[in-house]
Chains A and B, each alone.
Chain A
Amino acid sequence: MEGAQSVQPLEELVFEQSGVHNLKEIQPIFSVREHTNSVDTLAVNPSKKSEFITGSHDKTMKLWDLNKPQKSLLTLTGHTQGVWCVNYHPGGAQVVSASPEGVAKLWDVKAGKSTANLAVHTKRVYWATYNQAGTHVATCGSDRLLAYWDLRKTTAPVSVNNQSESVILSCDFFNDGQYIILTTLEGDASIVSLQDNMNIIKHETIETNQRSNIAYCSHVVRQEEGVFLIGSENKLVTKYKFDQKDLQLEKQGFFKGHSNSVRHVSVSPSATHLLSTCEDHSLRLWDYHSYEPKVIFSGHHDNVTGGAFVDENTAVSCSWDLTIKIWKF
């Protein structure tokens, strides 16, 4: 791919009309409403792509089969408040959930039961995720802590970073599991080094020309070394590259087109496309390399909080409109 796209100063950002005539708009092929309150998170089983889990403000998670989406397979209860984040273990048999209740939980998916509590946070837990090896979990939240857990001993975290000055909304492991990216309510993106005593070794404030720029989500790109994406209130998905050798952080470009805060971001299996979900009630499919918007997914009528690729041509999404939708493109 060509070198880094030159970064425009944000003052010049204008809603681009060019290319809009190439933009396709699609409707969902299926929609189901079963959760009784806003749906906040969704994750597809990496080992079995026809299976996915959703988490909701109704305090439950639901397990779904894409081939029989009319009704969920299982409802997982246990949280005393909403489920704000769910992610699969790479093996696909376990998930981790995060809740404003103040804990993250590990679950045996098939049994539909919680197997452990990850309890260290004193306030809302916003995000929980596994490293690629599936040996460790990171959790983060309102108490500004990032906790690093060993799955063999869940009674206490291995280490905790308390250097963030702001509420941590998301976190993700880099491929080798040695670094963790975290994003905050104030628009910071920080990289924590596990080798360096769990210290923040790199920090960047995401650009905006507004007073507030909540950095809602982060996603480390599995297919490209050191690359990660951040979705934020500035309506962009920004792509960064972190070079572990010289500890340099470089902004590579951004995906521009949404008209509200970006809530979730993921990349297709072959890294051809990027899928973003947004408070503007839509999802967008982009060309991952050229930053070009390709398809707008219209159908939700509230904040789209989660979205994931099932394969290169299928995606599933969830929203505060209480529905889960399946899309083909």
Chain B
Amino acid sequence: MEKAAQRLETLSSHLVPQTTFNAGTVIPKSDDDIVIVAYARTAITKAGKGAQKDTNTEEMLVPVLQSVISQAKIDPKIIDDVCIGSVLQNGAGANQARMAMFMAGIPETTTVKAVNRQCSSGLEAVMEIANALRVKQIDFGIGGGVESMSQASLGSAFDPKKLSPKVYENKFAKDVATINMGITSENVAERFGIKREKQDQMALESQTKAVAATKNGLLQKEITPYKTLIKDKDGKATEVVVDKDDGVRETTLEALGKLKPVFKKEGGTTTPGNASQVSDGAACVLLTRRSIAKKMGLPIHGRILSYACAGVPPDVMGIGPAFAIPVALKKAGLTVNDIDVFEINEAFASQATYTIEKLSIPREKLNPRGGAIALGHPVGMTGSRMIVTLFSELHRTNKKYGIVSMCMGTGMGACGVFEKE
């Protein structure tokens, strides 16, 4: 009799839906977890045209740094280190980050560093702080990212004419020097058969989701508004409030289909409509260890489960996430099926489509509030911005697991896995 009851219990447990499908396990919660206690972002505005077009990066960082401090209600002097990711500024903007820190009211006793891992910089910065927290090098840190593409263009990173001639003798090095991001998108589209129609479809979905998220006020709630000066075409500077993601607009497949490819005139598929917008913005995240958050009674939004970067050939850099995501998931003890929200940067619809197809990521879980095609991709900001969007959406839907992932120029992919509490 007992044996039968036992068998019944065993059998019925197979019928209960499991919270994770894989054999690996998510490590149990512990006081050593790296937790997110606050996050903030500015609006994402169009480079050269939007509200932040005349705003320097050191200014853009101030409202978000102030916001995370006031959200957690901490004395800024307990912050040990700040790490800001930025791609296009000299020295990754280390000086600007320090200035911003001071202007935000963080004392000189707090240290700062800048990091550049191309388009993952905003995420990398958060992970740098997480790693320092993990080994107890620090107890409190802010990781974030900023970019003004109004003030510095993608082409300003280096001057190809000044490179060593030996660069051109090595295939991959030469690719880094000579192939621009748009051509890598065309390479991915061609090599992996991502047709124009599929790319436009992703672009349409991105905009549609973003339009809906705007109508529902969801994007608005993510934004920390602030005032800045903007010069009109006559040169007059007036104060404006930066509080809206201005890249979002209604579109149709027809309208997208009319756009001409910009990087490869003949037979190209990447257009301004199915590529990320060039934009400005800043975002940051306040992190600590669970033990400290508990002791101080700080709100815990969630924890970082894992982070991984993967290297890929520079000429198809867009495939990076397809390699980074599985590694990060495995380290987190999760599979694609376990993830509720996938924030995958839409640098180009070509590579984002490749990624979700290769990993069988369900479309309805991808960028539920729209992605970089609709919102914009201020390169240094994006990684930390997606954490803000991810957690906002996980909170709203009361879901649990999410990833933030992107491809990076020069041939990489990155992925961070998060768990909301």
Interface residues of A (CB under 8 A from B): 37-38, 40, 57, 82, 84, 100, 302-303, 305, 320
- Minimal Cβ-Cβ distance residue in A for B229: A37
For B17, list chain A residues within 8 Å (CB): none
- Bound: A317/B108 CA distance, A: 38
Q: How many A-B residue pairs have CB under 8 A?
A: 21
A82-B236, A305-B235, A320-B235 given. 18 additional CB < 8 A pairs? A37-B236, A37-B237, A38-B231, A38-B235, A38-B236, A38-B237, A40-B235, A57-B234, A57-B235, A57-B236, A57-B237, A82-B234, A84-B234, A100-B234, A302-B231, A302-B235, A303-B235, A320-B231
For B231, list chain A residues within 8 Å (CB): 38, 302, 320
- Bound: A57/B229 CA distance, A: 13
For A84, list chain B residues within 8 Å (CB): 234
Chain B interface category by residue count: under 10
For B236, list chain A residues within 8 Å (CB): 37-38, 57, 82
Q: Which of B231, B235, B236, B237 has the most CB of A within 10 A?
A: B235
- Bound: A82/B236 CA distance, A: 8
How far in angstroms is the closest Cβ of chain A from B247? Answer: 25
- Bound: A84/B235 CA distance, A: 10
- Bound: A40/B235 CA distance, A: 8
- Minimal Cβ-Cβ distance residue in B for A82: B236
For B234, list chain A residues within 8 Å (CB): 57, 82, 84, 100
How far in angstroms is the closest Cβ of chain B from A232? Answer: 16
For A38, list chain B residues within 8 Å (CB): 231, 235-237
**Can you list 11 residue pairs at the A/B interface with Cβ under 8 Å?**
A37-B236, A38-B235, A38-B236, A57-B236, A57-B237, A82-B236, A84-B234, A100-B234, A302-B231, A305-B235, A320-B231
For B237, list chain A residues within 8 Å (CB): 37-38, 57
For A100, list chain B residues within 8 Å (CB): 234
- Bound: A38/B235 CA distance, A: 6
How far in angstroms is the closest Cβ of chain A from B294? Answer: 48
- Bound: A305/B235 CA distance, A: 10
How far in angstroms is the closest Cβ of chain A from B344? Answer: 37
For A57, list chain B residues within 8 Å (CB): 234-237
- In the A-B complex, list the 6 residue pairs whose CB atoms are closest, starting with the nearest: A38-B235, A57-B236, A320-B235, A37-B237, A38-B237, A82-B236
How far in angstroms is the closest Cβ of chain B from A21? Answer: 15
How far in angstroms is the closest Cβ of chain B from A50? Answer: 27
- Bound: A100/B235 CA distance, A: 12
